Amino acid sequence: MPIYNDGDTKVCVFGKGDIAVGTARKIDSDINTTLCLIQDTECNPIGQPNPHHIGLDIEDMNTQIEMIFDNVASIDVVISQLQVIRADLVKMQEEKDEL
């Protein structure tokens, strides 16, 4: 399962194309402030829009996780930590390719 509970922790395992990632707006707003993670029933090409989600409201997508941001600083922290993970994954892939 790409999204599951491990005790009190919600775990998301990325890398197979079975977690859709998208943005959402608050009601009566045209500003995207929410990042949604949705477990798909099938794998899709990573980075490609899932045609099953186009035009649906967030309530209709069975979103498992919503990350709501209220200011730029909070999202900058998340981006910074994702960049650390990305650098480590790139290094791991380069080492793997050298073998």
What pLDDT score does 55 carry? Answer: 73
Distance CA 21, CA 78 (A): 15
Distance CA 73, CA 69 (A): 9
Cβ-in-10-Å burial (0-12, 13-18, 19+) of 38 comes to buried
What pLDDT score does 23 carry? Answer: 86
| pTM for the whole structure | 0.82
Which residue positions in the chain have pLDDT lower than 50? Answer: none
